[in-house]
Amino acid sequence: MMERRVRVRFAPSPTGPLHIGGVRTALYNYLFARQQGGDMILRIEDTDSTRFVPGAEEYINEALAWLGIGIDEGVREGGAYGPYKQSERRDIYREHVQRLLDAGRAYIAFDTPAELEAKRQEIKNFQYDASTRGMMRNSLTLSPAEVESLIASGEKYVVRFKIEPNRDVTVHDLIRGDVTINSSILDDKVLYKSVDDLPTYHLANIVDDHLMEVSHVIRGEEWLPSAPLHVLLYEAFGWTDSMPQFVHLPLLLKPDGKGKLSKRDGDRLGFPVFPLDWQDPVSGERSSGYREAGYLPQAVVNFLALLGWNPGDDREILSMDDLIKEFSFEHCSKKGAKFDFEKGKWFNHEYLLALPDRELAQLFVPVLQQHTSASFAEDYITRAVGLVKSRINFVKDLWDHAGFFFVRPENYSEKDIRKRWKPETPAIMRQLVEVLRGIEPFASAHSEEVVLGWIKDNEYHLGNVMNAFRLAVVGECKGPHMFDIAELMGRDETIARIELAINRIQPIDA
């Protein structure tokens, strides 16, 4: 058999913001498509008109674009297999429903919700299937003339798939191996509803996979129960030869591993479970996203890629190109993946650290502008950022660590004053100012040598003097190497701050 062209699809339903689990599904589809030189399709499954949410489709597009998950064929991209939005494919589904009806593989059912409810009351564990369809109001029990007249009178109906009972159906899954289920556990799935002239998810999803020549159905584990239906419908249509390969991805679990990660876990535990911020158009409810929380898209991609897959060794930092190269279903796990949010922060830290200082500085400028209207040379910002970047997980953290480079301290840490600002400190700081005035060049290593020499010659307490120096310049006893700070700020600013501190800080009696 000729090798089939790899064609995969990400098929979200626009029922709200795309959940982070859906993003991972999209990512794995994309990685596989790129690796195999295949096609990545984005299909919008909007046949459930009752669950449609305005803005959700735009959200999906924006999220995928932000993450660099490229789409080859879709509503916006176009392509030879369109339309890519299911609500625009009604004729196609209608025709396919008719084919099943004509072949006796599906039937029309008129049972009203009330009638179905009555049956549920009457028969324990009622399921609409081979064992019960004979007692229901459908085209198998009614005469063709009755069926016609009911339809003509405008009676609402559905079309159900006539599932043959007691057949073992095997789904071959590239992660889970063969999964066999008995067809008797399936009900006669509704494929089409006359009320809105729309197919159900089941029919549309499966017909489109065939028509779009999908080679691999890669989706979340929660869809595993639908896979046998895929097999049975392909069979009913006579498409068995083009059956896709199935891949059901492991669940994303709560951070403690107890149960499936839910939309609510994010708010409850304080981390985003959506790629972008979202506001529900009806309830107004807001959900926070990775982008607005300060994550780099590369970090989110790397983090998600490793939730359920590994490269076969202990590498963790993998770029999109690395992931495309290394991805394989063999290294996907069957077990659910714990959503280790702390690890997500670590990835962001690593990716920020790997950015050139100049780029990091550019990301920091908007944060800086929220705090001060003064302007600073690009080079100064770049160097300040470079000195503290090892301490941050997010761009906004740069302010906490580097803010003092841009505004003088307004007050000084009381705890540090208590510990380091002794009655003799002002006099020593005055001497330090003199020492600093004499240093040439005013460069970190050289200043360090001179200042430490002066401390030693005077037999001062190294820790007290250096920490008082730091307290004066930074406002508290933290920050990068003191002489790097002084070099970057320059002699004048460093001295000005020490003088300010001498005037302002009163020793506190212990």
- 252-253 and 337-338: which strand pairing? parallel
Min dist CB 277 to ligand GLU, Å, is 21
Burial 429-468 (b: 16+ CB within 10 A, else e): beebbeebeebeebebeebbebbeebbeeeebeeebbbbb
Environment class of residue 267 by beta-carbon count within 10 Å: exposed (0-12), middle (13-18) or buried (19+)?
A: middle
Q: Does 200 bind ligand GLU (CB under 6 A)?
A: no
Q: Does 420 bind ligand GLU (CB under 6 A)?
A: no
Nearer to ligand GLU, 90 or 391 (CB): 90
422 is catalytic: no
Nearer to ligand GLU, 47 or 425 (CB): 47
Min dist CB 44 to ligand GLU, Å, is 9
- Stretch of 6-14, 141-149, 157-165, 266-274 contacting ligand GLU, by CB under 6 A: 6-14
Cα atoms found within 13 Å of the Cα of residue 25, Cβ hemisphere only: 28
Q: Does 52 bind ligand GLU (CB under 6 A)?
A: no
Q: Does 205 bind ligand GLU (CB under 6 A)?
A: yes
- Residues 13-32 interacting with ligand GLU (rule: CB under 6 A): 13
- Selected binder of ligand GLU within 12, 16, 38, 475 (CB under 6 A): 12
Nearer to ligand GLU, 50 or 503 (CB): 50
Tell me which H or E stretch contains 108.
Answer: strand 106-109
- Catalytically annotated residue among 85, 193, 263, 338: 263
Structure tokens at 328: 């394989």
Q: Does 45 bind ligand GLU (CB under 6 A)?
A: yes
- Residues 220-259 interacting with ligand GLU (rule: CB under 6 A): 223
Q: Are 126 and 120 in contact (CB under 8 A)?
A: yes
Q: Are 129 and 187 in contact (CB under 8 A)?
A: yes
The residue count of the chain comes to: 510
Min dist CB 203 to ligand GLU, Å, is 12
Rounded (to 5) percent helix, strand, coil in the chain: 50, 10, 40
Nearer to ligand GLU, 11 or 473 (CB): 11
Nearer to ligand GLU, 48 or 397 (CB): 48
Min dist CB 70 to ligand GLU, Å, is 18
Q: Does 11 bind ligand GLU (CB under 6 A)?
A: yes
Partners of 365 in the β-ladder: none
Q: How far is CA 367 from CA 86, 225, 397, in A?
A: 43, 48, 9
Min dist CB 195 to ligand GLU, Å, is 20
- Stretch of 5-13, 107-115, 251-259, 342-350 contacting ligand GLU, by CB under 6 A: 5-13
Nearer to ligand GLU, 8 or 471 (CB): 8
Min dist CB 249 to ligand GLU, Å, is 10
Nearer to ligand GLU, 58 or 146 (CB): 58
Q: Are 336 and 252 in contact (CB under 8 A)?
A: yes
User: For the chain, how big is the Rg over CA atoms in Å?
Assistant: 33
**Spatial separation of the C-alpha atoms in residues 398 and 367, rounded to whole Å:** 8
Q: Which residue's structure tokens are 């480079």?
A: 405
Min dist CB 45 to ligand GLU, Å, is 4
Active site residues: 263
Write out the residues near ligand GLU by the rule CB under 6 A. Answer: 11-13, 45, 205, 219, 223
